[in-house]
Amino acid sequence: MIKGFATNEGTGNFASRFGGAAKGHFRDVGGLWLSSIGIGTYLGKWDQETDHRYTDSVIRFIELGGNVIDTAANYRFQRSERSIGAALKALEGSLEREEVFIATKAGYLAFDGEPISDVAGFFEENFVNKGLAKADDLAGGSHCIAPDYLEAQIEQSRGNLGIETLDLFYLHNPESQLASVDRYTFEARIAKAFERLEELRNAGKLRAYGVATWKGFRVTPSEPGYHSLEGFVRAARQVGGEDHGFRFIQLPHNLAMPEAYLVPNQSANGRAVTPVQAAEDLGITVMASASILQGKLSQNVPIYVRGTLGNQTTDAMTSIQFVRSTPGISTALVGMSSVAHVEENMNLVSVAPTPEEDFAELFTRDA
């Protein structure tokens, strides 16, 4: 396996190779120089053709100035992780491990290469019978955050990616647990999961951890799937002290779903604030998923939005520009499974993010 992890020097060297990158494309994120656009690997068929397309896309993404790679154990039944691993292997000799930031996730059951019909049997055979989880650890028939289960998933992801150390590991959509257990049980499970992640961090298997959510940080506190960012930080401090590894969250943010920037549904240091502001107040980095909403925002973007965001060449670029220009967002994650899409979207490397005062006009235009 490839040794090392993203470092200040390595990511700085990577950024320095792209002299044509606009100011603001590479950002200082906790001492790492990370690209404002990251490649996501969620969508696609579970076949060799798509495997190869993702591998080629990751290679081209890195060649054009991107060093943030996002995946998950269950994406395309582990195939996306393996495609990234193939890309990293192909780049050995021209890319140092320390130059790229690699994040993965676990929580949902990750089948091997293709879907299966007997999900309950799969969980029992691979986890319950091996003592890695109990039957009632499985929430909603597909989600588990039991400590031993998570550790097994991390070992699997390290193998798939071919790297010794994950830069970032997320609990994947932990709100899925809340459909099956009460809030007290949920918080206890989170604390146990964080405790194990701190142990794995100390063992050098991951550098940081966080939570990647779909609705947890966007809904109101009265809704069952709501997450308190302050509560997660409190749990991390309890098990890891002030030097805990809970440093990132991921949530959807785009032109159609701007709640993270607009809705004050979080509490931080005694104030009601937006998720993005809460993260800033609590020392947490925000990465945005669904930047073009699985392709839905790659067309029909209003003309005034395009104008405000710099009249980008395509609607997809405009949508990405919105996300990467949002104050408090470190990286706009974009699913890119073809070289053509990578080359189109990475034209933004030479484009500066929209200034904050211009960006704010998107929300005051009708005032």
What are the residue boundaries of the structural domains of the chain, listed by start? Answer: 8-363
> Do the Cβ atoms of 152 and 165 come closer than 8 Å?
no
pLDDT in tens, the chain (367 residues): 999 999 999 999 999 999 999 999 999 999 999 999 999 999 999 999 999 999 999 999 999 999 999 999 999 999 999 999 999 999 999 999 999 999 999 999 999 999 999 999 999 999 999 999 999 999 999 999 999 999 999 999 999 999 999 999 999 999 999 999 999 999 999 999 999 999 999 999 999 999 999 999 999 999 989 999 999 999 999 999 999 999 999 999 999 999 999 999 999 999 999 999 999 999 999 999 999 998 899 999 999 999 999 999 999 999 999 999 999 999 999 999 999 999 999 999 999 999 999 999 999 865 4
Helix (H, G, I), strand (E, B) or coil at 215: coil
Burial of 112 (0-12, 13-18, 19+ CB in 10 A): exposed
> What is the sign, positive or negative, of the torsion defined by CA atoms of 4, 6, 9, 11?
positive
CATH classification number, 8-363, choose in 3.10.310.10, 3.20.20.100, 3.40.630.10, 3.90.79.10: 3.20.20.100
The pTM is what? 0.97
List, in order, residues 6 or more apart from 91 with CB less than 8 Å away: 59, 62
